């Protein structure tokens, strides 16, 4: 793979990542605005029975207990569903439906996530939970929870907004894909290749589970984890294209076989083709006659 192709691949990855981040930020902003409008309306109409507004180092929690006409909830509930495509985890249940094996919802908050709000999942209650990562810092999470029960023509329940450290935050970040960019020996190459392979396998597995969840829950075949998986694949391809000459033939064969394995396990055709091209373009030293 020549350098021009690598540059084009890197550029396409950056554009895809930027587009995803813009869309994610738009959803986060939309959810925040909808929450503020909803709770402001509850307060204005004196439909709030309890308010908890706490800030702590690195985050906050806003919780409102309400007793309001069902119609008041509709717009916020609809916005939560509309923005669910940007959520990394969702839970939606209407009154009267079973929740499967889910018995409770637990949302961690406070410094070090030392506190937890627990919501029992009851058959007569409605639930809408959306967890969204902060596009500006993937170690941080927005959590939105709306739960209520029907009482005549009114809804009695809670609405919660939490911002803080995400207990499920991915351990991989941009710096991980920049490790050992310029190996000078075969050992350094294999160490860099092994590190990037481990990062890829973890992120590819998360991508698979995310695609399965999104497909079953929302019927969509997209995931916000794909740009990072693509970036790691491009980094592996670049490493091979520029530094494979450091390796002996047996080491090259090992790398080539590993690339084929990653190609076959890829959850995205484009990512698989990146590994296929990297494997195809490997050159081996000829033995002297």
What does the alpha-carbon distance between residue 273 and residue 255 come to, in Å, rounded to a whole number? 16
Which DSSP category does 124 fall into? T
What does the alpha-carbon distance between residue 252 and residue 118 come to, in Å, rounded to a whole number? 53
Top pLDDT among 182 and 45 is at: 45
Q: Are 95 and 73 in contact, with CB atoms under 8 Å apart? A: no
Q: Is the pLDDT of residue 142 over 80?
A: yes
Q: Are 120 and 133 in contact, with CB atoms under 8 Å apart? A: no
Closest CA to 238 of 187, 201, 281: 281
Using 50, 70 and 90 to split pLDDT, how confident is the model at 157? very high
Angle at 229 between CA 167 and CA 223, to 5 degrees: 70
Instruction: Label the pairing between strands 48-56 and 137-151.
Output: unpaired
CA 238 to each of CA 9, 70, 94, 160, 279: distance values in angstroms, whole numbers, following the listed order: 10, 56, 49, 45, 12
What does the alpha-carbon distance between residue 108 and residue 143 come to, in Å, rounded to a whole number? 9
What does the alpha-carbon distance between residue 284 and residue 27 come to, in Å, rounded to a whole number? 49
What is the model's pLDDT at position 149? 95
Closest CA to 158 of 119, 124, 110: 119
DSSP string across 187-225: HHHHHHHHHHHHHHHHHHHHHHHHHHHHHHHH-----TT
Using 50, 70 and 90 to split pLDDT, how confident is the model at 181? low
Highest-confidence segment of 95-99, 138-142, 205-209, 257-261: 257-261
Across 258-275, average pLDDT: 91
Q: Which of 29-38, 41-50, 79-88, 228-237 has the lowest mean pLDDT?
A: 79-88
What does the alpha-carbon distance between residue 245 and residue 185 come to, in Å, rounded to a whole number? 10
What is the model's pLDDT at position 93? 87
What does the alpha-carbon distance between residue 8 and residue 111 come to, in Å, rounded to a whole number? 43
CB-based burial of residue 19 (10 Å sphere; 0-12 exposed, 13-18 middle, 19+ buried)?
exposed
What is the model's pLDDT at position 215? 57
The pLDDT tens digits for 215-251 are: 554 455 666 678 778 888 888 998 898 998 999 888 9
- What does pLDDT average to over the chain? 81
Which DSSP category does 128 fall into? E
């Amino acid at each position: 793979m020549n350098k021009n192709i690598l540059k084009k691949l890197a550029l396409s990855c950056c554009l895809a990542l930027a587009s995803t981040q813009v869309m994610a930020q738009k959803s986060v902003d939309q959810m925040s605005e909808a929450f503020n409008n909803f709770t402001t309306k509850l307060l204005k109409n004196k439909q709030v029975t309890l308010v908890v507004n706490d800030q702590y180092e690195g985050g906050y929690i806003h919780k409102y207990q309400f007793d309001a006409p069902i119609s008041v909830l509709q717009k916020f509930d609809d916005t939560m569903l509309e923005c669910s495509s940007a959520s990394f985890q969702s839970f939606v249940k209407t009154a009267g439906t079973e929740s499967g094996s889910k018995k409770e919802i637990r949302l961690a908050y406070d410094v070090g996530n030392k506190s937890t709000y627990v919501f029992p999942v009851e058959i007569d209650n409605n639930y809408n939970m959306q967890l969204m990562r902060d596009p500006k810092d993937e170690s941080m999470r927005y959590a939105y929870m709306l739960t209520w029960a029907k009482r005549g023509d009114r809804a009695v329940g809670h609405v919660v907004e939490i911002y803080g450290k995400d207990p499920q935050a991915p351990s991989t970040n941009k710096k991980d894909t920049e490790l050992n960019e310029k190996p000078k020996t075969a050992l350094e190459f294999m160490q860099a290749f092994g590190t990037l392979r481990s990062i890829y396998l973890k992120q590819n597995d998360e991508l698979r589970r995310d695609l399965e969840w999104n497909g079953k829950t929302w019927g969509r075949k997209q995931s916000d984890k794909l740009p990072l998986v693509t970036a790691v694949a491009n980094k592996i391809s670049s490493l091979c294209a520029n530094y494979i000459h450091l390796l002996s033939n047996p080491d090259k064969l090992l790398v080539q076989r590993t690339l084929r394995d990653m190609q076959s396990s890829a959850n995205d055709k484009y990512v698989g083709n990146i590994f296929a091209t990297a494997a195809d373009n490997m050159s081996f030293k000829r033995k002297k006659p």
